[in-house]
Amino acid sequence: MTTSELQQTILEAKARLGVCVLAHAYMSPEICEVADYVGDSFGLAQKAAENPAQKIVMCGVRFMAETVKILSPEKTVVLPNPESLCPMAEQIEPELLAGLKETYPGYTVVAYVNTTAATKTLADVCVTSSSAEKIVRAIPNDKILFVPDCNLGDYIQKQVPEKTVALMRGGCPSHVRVTAEDVKRAKALHPEALFLVHPECRPEVTAMADYVGSTTGIMAYAEKSEAREFIIGTENSIVQHLELKCPDKRFWAVSKDCVCHNMKAVTLTQVLRAVLGEGGETIALSDETIAAARRSIDAMLRLGA
C-alpha cells in the first residue's frame, strides 16, 4: 500500500466510524494530513472536547492522550503507539513532587501541561508554554515552584522577576540538544534569518532569539512576519510544516539533532489500527485522577490561559 492509499483508508474509516483524529504539530506531514486538528497539546484537547465524536485518536505522546481524557472523560481516547512517552513528563513521579512540596512549603505548584495525569493531581495550576508567563503573573503568590522544565521555568523567572521561581532540574531532551554553538553556526550560514525559539531550549539559546514562543506561536510569527528567512529552534518537523505553509519563505533547522524520537515513533499504520479499534492503547484514568488533574487545568483556565 502506498502512503496516499493508506491515508485514504484512514480518512474513509474515520468518517465511517465517527472517529476524531488529533495530531500534535511534531507529527509527520503524512499524519497531519489525515487529522481533524493539528496543533499544540492543550489546544488539541480543547478541540476534542468540543467535537461530537465519541472516540478520539491522539497522535502524540502519552501525556497528551491523558490530557484529552481529562477534558473528555466520557470519550474513548486512544494513543496509537503505547510506547510513545514524553521523557520530560516521565521525569517527575508523584513521590518526587510530593517531596518538593515539602521542601518548598507555601509555594504555589505550577506544572507545565507536559506532565502525566498523576503529576497534575498534585499541582495547584497547569500552564502551557504560551500561557506560562501570564498565569505566573496572575497567581496571587510571590513564591512559585515550577515543574518539571527548568528552562521554561528559568525563562518565566526572567519575564516575571518580581516573583521567586523554584525549579527542578527537568527538561526536554530534544530541545536541550540545541547549543549556543548551533545558533552561532546557523546565524553565520543564514545572516538575514530571524531566529525563532521554543522556551524549552537552554537559557543561552533563548537569549539569542528574535522571538521566543510555543510551537503554535513560532508558526504564527513566521507566517505573519515580513521577513523571508527563519532559523527554527524547536522540533525539526516544524521546519517542514512551515515550508509547506509558506512556500515563498526559507526555513532552516538550528540543529539537526532537535528531534523528538518519541513523537516520531507514531506511524500512519498505527493511526489506522487505532481508528479501526485494532491497535493502540485506550487511555484509562480513575475518576479521582481525572477530577484532581482537572482542578489544576481549571485553575489555569480561570487565570486566563
Residue ranges in contact with ligand SF4 by CB under 6 A: 61, 86-88, 114, 172-175, 235, 260, 262-263
At closest approach, how far in Å is the CB of 63 from ligand SF4?
8
- Give 73 or 173: the residue with its C-beta nearer to ligand SF4: 173
Neighbours of 274 (CB within 10 A): 27
At closest approach, how far in Å is the CB of 151 from ligand SF4?
11
- Give 69 or 198: the residue with its C-beta nearer to ligand SF4: 198
At closest approach, how far in Å is the CB of 239 from ligand SF4?
14
- Give 14 or 202: the residue with its C-beta nearer to ligand SF4: 202
Query: Which helix (H) or strand (E) covers residue 37, if one does?
Result: strand 37-39
- Give 16 or 261: the residue with its C-beta nearer to ligand SF4: 261
- Give 7 or 43: the residue with its C-beta nearer to ligand SF4: 43
At closest approach, how far in Å is the CB of 281 from ligand SF4?
17
CA-CA-CA-CA torsion sign (272, 277, 279, 283)? positive
| DSSP secondary structure, 246-263, as one string | -TTSEEEES-TT---HHH
At closest approach, how far in Å is the CB of 85 from ligand SF4?
8
At closest approach, how far in Å is the CB of 173 from ligand SF4?
6
At closest approach, how far in Å is the CB of 24 from ligand SF4?
8
- Give 61 or 136: the residue with its C-beta nearer to ligand SF4: 61
- Give 79 or 260: the residue with its C-beta nearer to ligand SF4: 260
Distance of CA 254 to the CA centre of its chain: 19
| DSSP secondary structure, 99-166, as one string | HHHHHSTT-EEEEESSS-HHHHHH-SEEE-TTTHHHHHHHSS-SEEEEESBHHHHHHHHHH-TTSEEE
Distance of CA 137 to the CA centre of its chain: 21
For the stretch 123-162, what's the b/e string if a residue is b when 16 or more beta carbons lie within 10 angstroms of its beta carbon?
bbbbbbbbbbbbbbeebeeeebbbbbbbbbbbbbbeebee
CA 152 – CA 304 distance, rounded (Å): 19
Amino acid at 136: V
